[in-house]
A and B are shown apart, each in its own frame.
Chain A
């Protein structure tokens, strides 16, 4: 299908299926039930899943294939976002130009930083990218306030007057696709279940499917082999008549464009940008997502992105009240004990769980979550048809 071999086509179809039916799959628990807390099928989180998925897919093209660990990738996400919001504020509220603009600016920024940072390799490269990203953050936060809105960031205001088709009644313009607003959605009530189908989500999902498809093509292309060769042996590449730095730079720019796309989509879905989006912790999060899922694998980064965003948005909202509801069936003393115990892992302590999960995954599943999935399918004694890894999975990235 579409130039993919059978295995990849299956994987692609599975991903498409998951993405299309996400509103159902992520809302398995009926409304009002105690477990409804774990539902993730609301527009904001679904959008975040696919957007961070795109970010991680792009990062994986650089890190998973070439082994170059960029510790400043959030900078491209950030500049993409700023580019997109300015496009919405000044040019048109249509999201397509905003997203395209974000991709271009993200890619350009990556080209400039990559050109310089790629003069070094290994940890030196990582620190160079980190330094550039931290500079971008610090400047966006303070000196560049006129351009970035500083700490408070940028939003669309009722005083904004885009070149094409802004609102005329003094209301605040909304990002749209030829008039259809990103916030539009319809709800389907089935019994006690409510499923939300959101336009913004499906636009982002479409972008992710395209991004994922492109990533498979890159993995399977001669270019993809070259990138893995960069990781494996640059010396041999040189003596084979190839320029590893140029290949790496292109991978860097591509992943910068992916980050720009993610940034543009983020703004399209939720029209605001703040500088923390470029802070080193955001870059670190991208790295962690990719490793957690399984660097160098096709689907791993998406899984990693999904699980971190899930924990961030779901665990942090479980407070003591919710816990009391869950354990209400227990005798009083036991209920309180359970609440106190469970409270260590949720609510304001959700970071604790995050840390523990990182450690457990890397200790017991050296290949990341993808390896966990493989082991599970192996345990159930059948060869999983949708083998989600490719050959690079056997050699985790460094």
Chain B
């Protein structure tokens, strides 16, 4: 059953057709990868999904509700979390505080005036954050200021921040971009483990085919804003159209 369904989405920027009639179904408990050469419209699509952009036409339905016209924070509250290409974390705050914020957001909603209660007394939230941190092996860094961590740790922290919200759909925007080989492997392992343990639904944009093929259950290939093919990884591997699209890119 598709938890996210994109139908006939169009988006133009001036004369440029960024997205043309994109259809996409992300099925629950699967990992759906979106690949394509640069400028294929992957990021535009992602921005439509999280409410940053509003498409000119088409529909995006998440769990039976349209997300179009909703603010990013509302879409998050519906159960969609996003990991960015460059980690978006609260750099000035400690790791623990970074973790607590999504916990509160999940429990209290978009805004709550909880100005008198002490954070120390939020035992449940602290426990939840700690268990998530230990899941990503960062419990020992809980009092560290986030900006002082390595890039890989920042990425893991961001992922943990998304996961602690128990999202129904996790969007990953090139989660391994700019990472060293070993870090990439770690990330893949982490994602795999989490998927196995939590039964998470994921949509991932990725350049690295290695990552794509080790994680994805289904792949959509975008080229110049149009969906080219949608199929299983095995079928995509040898698909002529995909080759063409990528080779075309290489020639340019």
A and B touch in the complex (CB under 8 A): yes
Q: Please, which residues of chain B bring their CB within 8 A of the CB of A238? A: 71-73, 76
Given A236-B89, A236-B90, A242-B105, does the pair A225, B73 have CB atoms closer than 8 Å? Answer: no
Complex Cα distance, B58 from A255, in Å, reads 45
A395 proximal to B (CB < 8 A):
yes
Given contacts A3-B118, A239-B50, A239-B81, whether A232 and B92 have CB atoms under 8 Å apart is: yes
Name which of B20-28, B109-117, B217-225 contacts chain A: B109-117
Q: Which of A3, A229, A394, A395 contacts B101 (CB 8 A)?
A: A229
Shortest B108–chain A CB gap in Å is 8
Asked if B161 lies at the interface with its beta carbon under 8 angstroms from chain A, I say: yes
Q: Which of B73, B105, B118, B165 contacts A220 (CB 8 A)?
A: B118
Pair A233/B90 contact, Cβ less than 8 Å: yes
Looking at chain A's contact residues, the main secondary structure is helix
A365-386: CB near B (< 8 Å → 1, else 0) gives: 0000000000000000000000
Judged by a CB distance under 8 angstroms, whether A152 is at the interface is no
Contact B101 A240, beta carbon cutoff 8 Å:
yes
Question: Chain B's nearest CB lies how many Å from the CB of A112?
Answer: 19
Name the CB-closest residue of B to A397. Answer: B92
Interface membership of A391, Cβ < 8 A? yes
Complex: A96 Cα to B245 Cα, angstroms: 75
**In contact, A395 and B117 (Cβ under 8 angstroms):** no
B114–A233 CB distance below 8 A = no
B101 A225 Cβ-Cβ under 8 A: yes
Q: Which of B100, B118, B145 gathers most chain A CB within 10 Å? A: B118
Whole-angstrom distance between the Cβ of B133 and the nearest chain A Cβ: 16
Is B104 located at the chain interface by the 8 A CB criterion?
yes
Q: How far is the CA of A238 from the CA of B114 in the complex (A)?
A: 18
Residue from B82, B93, B122 with most neighbouring chain A CB atoms (10 Å): B93
Q: How far is the CA of A323 from the CA of B77 in the complex (A)?
A: 68
Partner of B119, one of A222, A233, A243: A222
Complex Cα gap A241–B82 (Å)? 11
What separation, in Å, do the CA atoms of A5 and B84 have in the docked complex? Answer: 36
Q: Give A267 Cβ to nearest chain B Cβ, in Å.
A: 27
Distance of B67 from chain A, by nearest CB (Å): 13
CB of A391, distance to nearest CB on chain B (Å): 7
Cβ–Cβ contact B115 & A228, under 8 A: no
* Interface residue? A221 (CB, 8 A): yes
Tell whether B232 is near chain A: CB-to-CB under 8 Å: no
A232→B93 CA distance, assembly (Å): 8
Is B41 an interface residue when CB atoms closer than 8 A count as contact? no
In the assembled complex, which residues on chain B have CB atoms less than 8 Å from the CB atom of A200?
A: none
> Which of B81, B89, B92, B161 has the most CB atoms of chain A within a 10 A radius of its CB?
B92
A327 on the B face (CB < 8 A): no
Q: Is the CB of A221 within 8 A of B72?
A: no
Q: Nearest-CB distance from B157 to chain A (Å)?
A: 11
- Bound form: Cα–Cα A233–B71 in Å: 17
- Is B97 located at the chain interface by the 8 A CB criterion? yes
B110 and A243 contacting across the interface, CB-CB below 8 Å: yes
Minimum CB–CB distance from B160 to chain A (whole Å) comes to 12
Flag B59-76 by CB within 8 Å of A: 1 or 0 each.
000000000000111101
Determine if A229 and B120 form an interchain contact, defined as CB atoms under 8 angstroms apart: no
Q: Residues of B contacting A241 with CB < 8 Å?
A: 73-74, 76-77, 102, 105-106, 109-110, 165
Q: A236 to B101, alpha carbons, bound, how many Å?
A: 10
Q: A3-B118, A229-B101, A237-B101 are in contact. Are A242 and B110 (CB under 8 A)?
A: yes
Q: In the complex where A229-B93, A240-B105 touch, is A222 in contact with B117 (Cβ < 8 A)?
A: yes
**Contact present for B105 and A233 (CB under 8 Å):** no
A391-B106 in contact (CB<8A): no
B88: Cβ under 8 A from any A Cβ: yes
Beta-carbon contacts under 8 Å, A1-49 to B: 3-5
Determine whether the beta carbon of B114 is less than 8 Å from that of A221.
yes
Contact between B73 and A229 (Cβ–Cβ < 8 Å)? no
Q: Is B179 located at the chain interface by the 8 A CB criterion? A: no
- A223 proximal to B (CB < 8 A): yes
By a CB distance below 8 angstroms, the chain B residues around A254 are 115
CA distance A120 to B182 in the complex (A): 42
Contact across chains for B113 and A240 when beta carbons are under 8 A apart = no
| Least CB distance, A221 to chain B, in whole angstroms | 5
Interface presence of B91 (CB below 8 A): yes
CB neighbours (8 Å) of A250 from chain B are 113, 115
14 contacting pairs across A/B (C-beta < 8 A): A3-B118, A218-B116, A221-B114, A221-B116, A228-B90, A232-B91, A236-B88, A236-B90, A239-B82, A240-B81, A246-B110, A247-B111, A391-B94, A395-B92
Beyond contacts A222-B119, A225-B104, A250-B115: 10 other A-B pairs, Cβ-Cβ < 8 A, are A222-B108, A222-B122, A228-B90, A231-B92, A232-B91, A238-B76, A241-B74, A243-B71, A243-B110, A243-B111
Query: Taking beta carbons and an 8 Å cutoff, which residues of B are in contact with A?
Result: 50, 71-74, 76-77, 81-82, 84, 88-94, 97, 100-102, 104-106, 108-122, 145, 161, 165
